[in-house]
A and B are shown apart, each in its own frame.
Chain A
Amino acid sequence: MLEAKLDQASILKKVVDAIKDLVQDCNFDCNDSGIALQAMDNSHVALVSMALKAESFQPYRCDRNIALGLNLTSLTKVLRAAQNEDMLTLRAEDAPDSLNLVFESKADDRISEYDLKLMDIDQEHLGIPETEYAATITLPSSEFRRICTDLMALSESVTIDASKDGVKFSCTGDIGNGAVTLRSHTNVDKPELNVDIELSEPVSLTFSLKYLVNFCKASALSHQVKICLSNEVPLLVEYALENQSHLRFYLAPKIGDDE
C-alpha cells in the first residue's frame, strides 16, 4: 500500500510538466525511500531521472515496491484539476490497477478525488555511475533557459566551451552565428543569481538545442540549475529540489558531425 502526501501539489505538477514533453509513458517506482522515475525519450539520446525522496512527503508510507505505469499526458490532465497550493495525496494498492489522487484545498473544505488507470510498461533501467565531471556550472535556471532559446533562433545545436575564462555557449547557423559567455559571479543579496564554474580541465561539447530547451521546462522547479560536462560523456542538467530530491536530465553529445 502506498500513501504519499505532498504539502503542495505544485511540485508534482511541475515535475510532470517538465517530463511530459520528453517521455510519453513511464513507471513511477515507489519504494520506502521515495518515488523515483527513470525514462528515455523515443530516440534514446536523452534520459530523465527523477527522485522524490520520502522526506518530501508528509506523511509517506510504502509497504512494498510498486511500479506505477502512467501515461504522462493522462497524468497531466488529472493534475490540471489541482490548484498549486492544494495538498495532494497519492494512494495505490500493493498490486494496483489504478492510482488514486486526492486534492484537498487548504482554504476551504473542497476535496477532489481522481482515479487514474495504470498501464504495464516494459522499461529498461540504466545504471548511472557517479561521475566526476570535468566542469560543473551552476547558474540561474532562467539564465540557462534564455541562452538556449536565444541560440535556438540561429541553430539547432550549441557548443559549450568551458575554460578558465568562463563558459561560452556558441552556435553557427544559416543566418549567422552567436555566442553567450558567462563568468563566475557572486551576488550577495540574491544568491539565486550566482554563477559558479568549477573546472578541472577544459571541456568543449556540442548538444542539440531542441533537447536543452526541452529540459528547461523544469526551470520552474528550481532557481538554480547545475550543468555538468565531461568530454565523451553525456551532459547532466540537474534541478535540485528540497530534501535531496532532484530532477536530472542526461543528453548524449553530438560527436563528429559536420553537416
Chain B
Amino acid sequence: MRSIKTLRSDASHADAFKVGPTLFAATTSQYTLAEATSRPPQLFVLPKTATAESRVVTLQNPRYARLTRYLVCPKSGIYEFTKIAAPSAVPRSWLIESAKGQRIVTEGENGSEATVVDFEAHVTRDADIFVATPMDPLFLVLPALATTTTKSEAPKRMFLTSDDHFDSLVDSADSHLSQLLQVGKTRALLEGRMAVICDTVEAGDETMFRLNEDKLMDELLTKAGRMAEKLPKSMEERFVTRALEAPVVYKRAPAIPTEGSSDGGSALQTPMTEKSESQASLSSVGTVDSEVSQASTAATSVDLTTEEPITAAMVASEQVLKLQRLQVAFNFIVSAYVSHTFGATLKAHFAKHKSTDFKPLEEYLTELAKLKVEVMATRAATENTRKRGLEEEDDERAEKRRRKEEEEKKKKIGVSKGVRDLKKVNTSGMKKLSDFFKKK
C-alpha cells in the first residue's frame, strides 16, 4: 500500500509541474508588460503662482554645495522641491493617467515648440511626489556673499557688483544660473533680496553689494520668529516637547496627589525612562523631508502626561518654550539653507544676539541636565544593572586588568605562596627592623 501511495503523490506533483508552465505561457501571450521606461513620469505639486514660463533648473544648493533642481518662475520667484516618499519598507506605486490622455511635450531651448502627445497610463515604481514650495532666493546668493568667512575671524569683504557676486556662484558649467539671470525678473529678484542683507553703495549706474552680518541675522531672526509661531507638529514634538521634557517620577503610592513633584522624601519612587533626544541634528529633517518616518515616531511615543501617577520633575515655562521654538526654527533654517561652516558662525552669533535673551532657556537646560544625571544615577543604583553605554569602557578596563594580571603572573613565578601571603599581613604598629638595627 505504502509504495502505491508514494507513487500517486509523485504523479500528482508531476501534474502540478505541468500545469504551471502552461498557465504562465497563457499570461505572456495575452498581456505583454511594457518595458520599464528610462524616464518614468514623476508627480509634481506646483504652486498656482508659478506661471507657464516656469522651468525646472539646476542650481548650486547653498547648503550642500552640490547641484540641485529648483523650479524658477521668471515672474513669481524660485521654488525648491521637497520629495515626499513612502518608506522603503512599505512599497507603494502611483497609477498615473491623464484625464485627457494627453501630455504636452516641450522641446527646444526656451520651450518654444510644444506638441501634444498621447499619454499612456503608467505605474510608477515608487510613490514619490515632489512638492514645489517657495524659497527665499536670498539663500541662493548667500554662498557668494559669505565666501571669505572661512579664512579669517574678521573677514574683509569687498563691495562688489552683483555680477561679480554671481560670477563666483557660476563655477559649475551645469548650473543654469547664468541663463536665468538673462530671463525676466529673476535678476531683479535676486538683487532685491541681496539688498536686504547687504550694505550697498552706488557707483555710477551700478550698485555694489557687501554682506552685512547684522542685517543677515535680523532677516534670519524674522524668518525664524515667523516659523516659530507655528512649528510643524512633528518638529514641535521632537525638538521642543521632548528636548525640554524632564525625567518623570513614577509614584507607586498615589497618596499625595500632585503635591511636591520634585520632593525626594516620599518613599517608593522609581525613576522612569525619560525620552530625551538630542536636538542637535536638525539636518535629518532637511530638504528631503521624511514625513512618514516622523509620523511613525510620533505615533509610538507615549503621551506620558495622560497617566495620573506620573509627574514630571520639571515643567518648562511658556517663555522657555518660546525660546526653544525660536532656536529650533533658526537651527532648522541654518541647517537647511546655509553652508556648514557659515552656519556655525551664524549659530554662534545667534546665541549672543542682543534682541533675544536666552538666559531662561539656558538655565532651564542646565537644570534639566543636572536632573537627568541624578535620575540616571538613582536608576543605576535601583536597577543594579550595567548600562549599555559603558560597555566599551568596560572592555577597555578589562583589557587593562588582563595586562596587569599577566604582569603580576610573570612576577609571581619567582615568589612563593608564603611571601605572597605575608604581603597581606597587617603590619600596622610594627616598626621596620632598620629602626632597631643599624645598617652596616
Contacts and interface: CB of A to CB of B under 8 A. Distances in A.
Interface of B: 413-419, 421-423, 425-440
B423 to A, nearest CB: 6
Interface stretch (A36-44, A50-58, A165-173, A193-201): A36-44
Contact of A250 (B418, B425, B433, B438): B433
Nearest to B438: A127
Contacts of B418: 20-22, 214, 217
Given A20-B416, A43-B432, A210-B421, 20 more contacts: A20-B418, A21-B422, A41-B419, A45-B427, A45-B431, A45-B433, A46-B433, A47-B433, A125-B439, A125-B440, A126-B438, A126-B440, A127-B438, A208-B426, A208-B427, A211-B425, A217-B418, A252-B430, A254-B429, A255-B429
A10 B435 CA distance: 35
Contacts of A42: 419, 422-423
Nearest to A119: B414
Contacts of B415: 24, 73
Nearest to A208: B425
Contact of B425 (A72, A156, A217, A259): A156
Contacts of A73: 413-416
B437 A128 contact: yes
Contact of B429 (A23, A211, A217, A256): A256
B438 A45 contact: no
A21 B432 contact: no
A166 to B, nearest CB: 26
Interface residues of A, number: 41
Contacts, number: 104
Given A42-B419, A259-B428, A71 B436 contact: no
A42 B416 CA distance: 12
Nearest to A259: B428
Contacts of B428: 254, 257, 259
Interface string A42-81: 1111110000000000000000000000011110100000
Given A126-B439, A127-B440, A128-B437, A43 B425 contact: yes
B390 to A, nearest CB: 36
A185 to B, nearest CB: 31
Contacts of B429: 254-257
A247 B422 CA distance: 19
The 4 closest A-B pairs by CB, nearest first: A21-B418, A257-B429, A126-B437, A254-B429
A140 interface: no
Contacts of A40: 433
B399 to A, nearest CB: 28
Contacts of A22: 418-419, 422
A23 B419 contact: yes
Contacts of A41: 419, 422
Nearest to B435: A252
A105 B421 CA distance: 35
Contacts of B439: 124-127
